[in-house]
Structure 1
Amino acid sequence: MEDVASHATKEDCWVILHDRIYDLTHFLSRHPGGAAVILKVAGRDGTAAFAAIHPPDMVDILPESACVGQLDPEAAAARKASAEVDPEEKERRLRIAKCPPLEACFNLMDFESAAQTALSPEAWAYYSSGSDDEISLRDNRAAFQRIWLRPRVMVNVLNVDISTHILGHPASLPLYISATALGRLGHPDGEIALTRGAATTAIPQMLPTLASCSLKEMTDARADGQVQFYQLYVAQDRDHTARLIRAAEDRGCKGLFITVDAPQLGRREKDMRMKFIEEAPKEQDDSTAGRNEGAARAISSFIHPGLAWEDIPWFRSITRMPIILKGIQCGEDAVKAAHAGVDGIVLSNHGGRQMDTAPSGIEALAESVAALSAAGVPPGQMELYMDGGVRRGSDIFKALALGATAVGIGRPLLYAMSAYGSDGVVRAIRILQDELIMTMRLMGTPTVQDIQPGHVNARMVSVHSSSVPEDSLSRALYKPLVAPKSKL
């Protein structure tokens, strides 16, 4: 440790990662998140900071020559046994202690409120931010409230069955966990906590390309019979993309969800501003790479902006998994996807994190169903999913009535995980189950197959100036964008 500590400058920078010692001097200028992040842990063990946003195998991108040695195993074990809890972990535990008890959470908004307490300012900025003015972020929720239910009465709803199939696989309700990046920003278990929650509640989980956990860790945590899909960001290096797909298939993933709405990640100003404040040098420093980008853009520079419809046959040629395009936002592209022969699409605006004023997923769903019908695409040729803004069981019902097979949910489960771990994930999903059962019973639909378009009035879903009553829960939780503070 003393030897490592002697290499703690910009000109000579060693860092310990998972008990291996790396010389990162020449990597400083190329680190997507900027040199300042690495220099914070120069000459020390940077595992905790590294593991929060990288899977363990991320170090494989470094040349072999970067590894200059390994800590003696006995010495490393003794050091860990005697080491105090990491200061950041201490702070996290203190924040967790201030959260309300899990039993006090009665809806998904309660988990978001708890997460504001549980998360560090940096993690909250990354998880909660939307693109530009965050209009789409807010409208994802508001759009559901422009759709009204049309209940049926005098129907035998003594028994209500909310189970269904997603890509042919059984699910306890029409819900899957959507891919979200950097799970360990919120909880030390990261995406594995989501895996456990999905296993307990018997719903599929979509594994993210930009996970904090490795693909092996996430698939090893899978229970017997548990269904996992793989979300893919297409890299500019086609061979690398092929390796990712084959690895996911070899590890038992049952579907390939290709993200198509991110040739470049959007400007998420809360995240950008927090990263700027966190890493702004005390004196003028030339290591400013990435300081104006935020965590999201810093980790995603590999994404290929040239992805096109002509690439679909290539994906077909290298995998047997069903192919779903994630991020369709209009009827025209839904029709193109059907003609391209993919197995499904996800109507989504990336949680309002890409193009501001893009339509919500539920609005794009309604438009796409109409466009597919007009184009003569047979119902059932392609499965339709949507995500963004789902916070109630009634939202799931509305999406199914408009033609969705199931819905994805991401951020609310990150919030539940951040405050309460996998127990929070399970409770959040159970709340949605209970709400969906209640909705189906009151709507006179004893099974998922009984839910039809006539059960909703969606004429106002595309009207963005309607006087919908204010949602006090979401408005109270929303943190507005702020301007830079004066030095005075």
Structure 2
Amino acid sequence: METSIETRRVSLDDLKQHNTANDCWIAIHSKVWDITHFINEHPGGPEVLLNLAGSDATELYNDVHAPDIIEDLPSDKLIGLLEESAISRPTPKTTEIDPVPPPTSPTQTNDVPSTPKTKTIPSLDAILSAPDFEKAAQDSLSAKTWAFYSSAATDLVTHGKNKELVRRVMIRPRILRNVSQVNYKTSILGFDSSAPFFVSPAAMARLAHPDGELALSRAAANEGIIQCISSNASFSLKSIVKAAPSTQPFFFQLYVNSNHEKTVELLKTVRGLGVKAIFVTVDAPVPGKREADERAAQEQTVKSAISGGESSKDKKGSGFGRLMAQYIDKSLCWDDLAWIREASGGLPIVLKGVQTAEDVIKAAEYGVEGVLLSNHGGRSLDGAQASILVLLELRKNCPEVFDQLEVYIDGGFERGSDILKAIALGATAVGIGRPFLYSLIHGQDGAEHLCHSEFCMSSHDDEANEL
């Protein structure tokens, strides 16, 4: 009688025998997989997998990967179940070293403290704002995660100006308006939103919380706002979409793969899951030099469940952003929008990362449905103008574009009053990125708390009549 795959038992000694590039097995969650075929396709190179060859890699896997990634392997690569006695048990983790903040200049260095220190995350009651979440995240996330989330390109000029110049836009308050009942509702690409902001795409949310993008998905659904899912999300697109009710709309942020067939296949999956729009990233043909991210030590590989983008240390450093961006098409140009639209099956197209009035005008000529004014949070090209300046440029030089497509903006927006300024200047909605990542120190509850404590409450108190 034949033994089925699910009942076949693999001993630790047997597992250890398969530890070469030509014959490579690993165990994940008690299942033994043959990954020989995948080694040379590994975006981060074969070394990381070969270091785990012939072993139970569950603990390391759980630290950085979404649970469902391994299940994407072909079913015929499942060898069997690891014998119970051979399964690795999690190592208790009770302490963590202090995180290293990103340097304020490219010449500053940060030394990791040698003395471990137990971390305490402030309660939600003690967190009143997005800046509070940022401080709490800096104090509680690992050094590498904090560096990845908070870092920006080279001298951090654009990153700093994003926030600074939003603050320098002044409000002219009107008085004696009835604000006893306020309605923040708006429409983004024809889909209802309870407020004029959305969750901007941001990579690898699981580094902050085990539920990662799933927590953001549930929070967005509960709060009636829209999440734009990152190509470099921790979880699979299906898992993120299925975490929310079927009526919840999602957008998808696309990095175009240099292998266009992979992008076409990905967009087919996106359409099949009912995603409502495609945000094509156009501001990062090459990754920015994020020096804090490169400096912070990386202990393991991190892989996106959607794009397959992967990070592992190389001779230039260990920057998550740079190492995960190796698959991005550097030759992307305006004419590519035609096949992207065809592959998207007619879904609305938004260009993410437009930074000049001239390109907004050209985007309208190419018939896209929207533009997201963005400089990648200052993470791509340092010295690019702050996003709010691009919005002011449109309002002054080509206000007609606001009637031709929808205009969104992100970069430096943290307060409800920041959102008000963008809406008053003509934006349809504002993308919120880092604050939602930082809020994940409290998971779904943190993301929902951010919506109430910062954006909606601040808007109600200070500028309800405008919204």
Matched, 1:312 2:337: yes
Please report how far the alpha carbon of residue 343 of structure 1 lies from its aligned counterpart in structure 2 after TM superposition: 0.2
Q: Which has the higher contact order (CA 8 A, sep 6+)?
A: 1
* Contact 1:33–1:291 (8 Å) recurs in 2: no
Quote the residue 1:438 is aligned against: 461
Quote the residue 2:365 is aligned against: 339
Most deviating of 424-433 and 26-35: 26-35
Paired AA for residue 437 in structure 1: H
Quote the residue 2:235 is aligned against: 213
Identity of aligned residues (%): 40
Please report how far the alpha carbon of residue 368 of structure 1 lies from its aligned counterpart in structure 2 after TM superposition: 2.7
CA RMSD after TM alignment: 3.0
Quote the residue 1:46 is aligned against: 57
Q: Pick from 201, 209, 214: which aligns with 1:179?
A: 201
1: distance between equivalents of 2:373 and 2:324? 24
Quote the residue 1:284 is aligned against: none
Please report how far the alpha carbon of residue 173 of structure 1 lies from its aligned counterpart in structure 2 after TM superposition: 0.7
Most deviating of 300-309 and 290-299: 290-299
* Contact 1:95–1:117 (8 Å) recurs in 2: no
Matched, 1:392 2:402: no
Please report how far the alpha carbon of residue 389 of structure 1 lies from its aligned counterpart in structure 2 after TM superposition: 0.9
Give the TM-score of the pair, scaled to structure 2.
Answer: 0.82
Give secondary structure in 1 for the equivalent of 2:347.
coil
Cα offsets for 1:6-55 (capped at 9, x unmatched): 55678975422354434557866764435564455444332443455555
2: distance between equivalents of 1:119 and 1:274? 13
Matched, 1:402 2:402: no
1: distance between equivalents of 2:45 and 2:296? 14
Please report how far the alpha carbon of residue 85 of structure 1 lies from its aligned counterpart in structure 2 after TM superposition: 3.8
Change (3 A) 1:155 1:420: same
Listed as ranges, the matches of 1:17-36 within 5 Å are 17-22=28-33, 31-33=42-44
Paired AA for residue 57 in structure 2: G
Change (3 A) 1:215 1:61: closer
Matched, 1:242 2:261: no
Change (3 A) 1:86 1:175: farther
Give the TM-score of the pair, scaled to structure 1.
Answer: 0.79
Quote the residue 2:296 is aligned against: 274
1: distance between equivalents of 2:425 and 2:135? 30
Most deviating of 42-51 and 183-192: 42-51
Give secondary structure in 1 for the equivalent of 2:55.
coil
Paired AA for residue 355 in structure 2: Q
Quote the residue 2:110 is aligned against: none
Please report how far the alpha carbon of residue 291 of structure 1 lies from its aligned counterpart in structure 2 after TM superposition: 5.4
Paired AA for residue 309 in structure 1: W
Q: Pick from 220, 225, 230: which aligns with 1:198?
A: 220
Quote the residue 2:384 is aligned against: 358
Please report how far the alpha carbon of residue 258 of structure 1 lies from its aligned counterpart in structure 2 after TM superposition: 0.7
Please report how far the alpha carbon of residue 348 of structure 1 lies from its aligned counterpart in structure 2 after TM superposition: 0.3
Give the gaps of 5 or more residues in structure 2. Answer: 1-11, 98-115, 302-311
2: distance between equivalents of 1:269 and 1:32? 21
* Contact 1:15–1:43 (8 Å) recurs in 2: yes
Cα offsets for 1:108-155 (capped at 9, x unmatched): 011111112221111111111111111111211111111111111122
Cα offsets for 1:311-348 (capped at 9, x unmatched): 12222223221110000011111111011110000000
Change (3 A) 1:173 1:268: same
Cα offsets for 1:380-436 (capped at 9, x unmatched): 32000001111100000001011110001111111110x111100000111211011
Listed as ranges, the matches of 1:68-83 within 5 Å are 69-72=79-82, 75=83
1: distance between equivalents of 2:442 and 2:239? 21
Paired AA for residue 337 in structure 2: I
Paired AA for residue 259 in structure 2: D
1: distance between equivalents of 2:376 and 2:329? 17
2: distance between equivalents of 1:90 and 1:223? 37
2: distance between equivalents of 1:369 and 1:40? 55
1: distance between equivalents of 2:59 and 2:145? 14
Quote the residue 2:405 is aligned against: 382
Change (3 A) 1:25 1:240: closer
Paired AA for residue 352 in structure 1: G
2: distance between equivalents of 1:14 and 1:409? 41
Paired AA for residue 297 in structure 1: R
Give the gaps of 5 or more residues in structure 1. Answer: 280-286, 449-488
Quote the residue 2:325 is aligned against: 300
1: distance between equivalents of 2:172 and 2:354? 28
Please report how far the alpha carbon of residue 271 of structure 1 lies from its aligned counterpart in structure 2 after TM superposition: 1.2
State how many pairs are aligned.
426
Paired AA for residue 414 in structure 1: L
Q: Pick from 27, 40, 43: which aligns with 1:16?
A: 27
Change (3 A) 1:196 1:48: farther
Matched, 1:326 2:352: yes
Change (3 A) 1:278 1:208: closer
Q: Pick from 341, 348, 351: which aligns with 2:374?
A: 348
* Contact 1:95–1:118 (8 Å) recurs in 2: no
* Contact 1:96–1:117 (8 Å) recurs in 2: no
Most deviating of 115-124 and 194-203: 115-124
Change (3 A) 1:33 1:223: same
Q: Pick from 198, 203, 210: which aligns with 1:188?
A: 210
